[in-house]
Structures are given as C-alpha cells and as structure tokens.
Amino acid sequence: MKNKRLGNTNFNISTIGLGGMPLSLSGRPTEAQSIAVIHRALDLGVTLIDTADSYCQDQSDKHHNEELIAKALQQYTGDIRAVTVATKGGLMRPQGAWTRNGNPHHLRKTIRESFEALGGQKPIDLWQYHSPDPSYTIEAALAPAKEAVEAGMIRFVGVSNFSVEQIKRARDTVEIASVQNQYNPWHREPESDGVLEYCEAEKLTFFPWSPLGGSRRVTSLQDIPAIAKLATEKNVSVYCIVLAWLLAKSPCIVPIPGATKISSIEDSVQAIDVQLTDVEVQQISAS
C-alpha cells in the first residue's frame, strides 16, 4: 500500500482508507463480520480508518463505530502502530435522524467520550468537526478541539462539510490538517467551489466522503458509460475506476470507501494500481 502525508503533519496515512460508517448503521453486519473486515483492511496495508461519534443507529447507540474499531484494533495480532483513526463530532442521531450540534459544551463532552471509546490510551489521531452548526460560530465550536489538542487528548484537527471561507476561519482558531466534503461522480462541488483547489494550495488532505456515491447510488456506477467502459478495458470493477479517478483528480485526495464485506475492501485497495490517462480522467469527468 502506498502512503501519503496527512496535511502538513509528519504523519503518513494509506493512500486509500476504510470508511467505518456502514459497519454501524441499521442493517449493519455482525460484530464478528465487521471486525473481520477491519482486520482484512489492516492486512492489506490500510492505515487510515474513518469514523465518527454519530456512526450508530440512534442516540442510544452513540459511539458504536468508535468502540467497534477500538475492539478490532485491540484484537488484531499485527502491528498497529502506524494506524490512524480519524473520528468526528458535531452530529446527533435522534430517532436515527441526522442533526447538527455545535454547542461547545456538547463538543467538549463528546470529544472526551470519543477519546474513551477509542481506548483512552493515546490521543485521538484526527478529530474532525463534522458539520458547521449555524447556531454557533466556528470559532466557538472549535475552541473545545483546540483545548483538547493542548491537553494532549487530540493530535490533529480536521473539518467536514466546510466552505473555503469556513476553512480559513477554522485555521485562525486551530491548526487544520484535513477537510472532508462529499465528492463523487454525481457530487462535484469541490471542483467548482474552490475547496479542492484550496486544499491543494495549502497542503491539506482532502477526504471525499461517499466517494462511490453512497448506498443509494453505488449500484448505478455501472450505468455511467465512461466508467463501465474503462472497467471492462482494464479488467477491474467500476468501483476501482471511480477511486482511481478520484486519486487522479488531485494529489491531496485520500478516498475512504466504506465496506461491509471483506471482498469490498479487497476490491477498493486495487484502485491504487489502476492508472488512468489524462484523457480517461476527462472522459469520466465529462460523463
């Protein structure tokens, strides 16, 4: 597995990460199956696992995914010293819905809970403010993260679902290593809203969430002619083609595809070996 630098830090992360969300939502695999998926990802050289306090079924299930990942890492017999776990805080799950909560008191509390859920033995590698809550300023919402960095509870901070202006404000409050916004063949805003260009210029890592379109759209990738054609020509899956396309779009991009089956993460990591020409990248971009 190839590695990339996490933002302006001295940490390396795998070129493709594992998104933990589908392992904890409704219809999730058994715990044993989920741990097997995480272990297989580690075997394949994946050293970045993305999670969140809200990756769960509802509020009663909060921190499920973080606890699952911590358990998988604890049970893994290989070397986990290079593994980076990136979590998030700032979303709630009332009755399974998704709502924002940028209240600094809540964020201070959930950072502590995430720290404990992930084992409580070392700082959270990367904590990300999940989505800006308009009820609170970015400066106020990120103050608890800055405090946690100073207290040794968080190593690095990132933001998610932020505009360029919001990223700049965040960076005035605390050092930012990464940005996580939606980016896939259907959702291309990072190309036009300046976020991707800004991350490149400032050497921030860009994590595209739902890189394959999410559970509702992933099966439709085969219906995009340019993607299907290239998958056939290169004898790989349409998923590999999309991940390779994202990697080719910018050196700052690190896709974090989710997986609920071992075969899925095995397929995803093959994308690093798929070479797309500039023409092929443009063909996908134009589709």
Which are the catalytic amino acids? 55
Cβ 280 vs Cβ 230: under 8 Å: yes
Alpha helices in the chain (DSSP H): 31-43, 64-75, 104-117, 138-150, 164-173, 189-192, 195-202, 225-234, 238-249, 262-269, 278-285
Tell me the three state secondary structure of residue 112: helix
CA distance 142 to 132: 10
119: left (phi over 0), alpha (psi -120 to 50) or beta: left
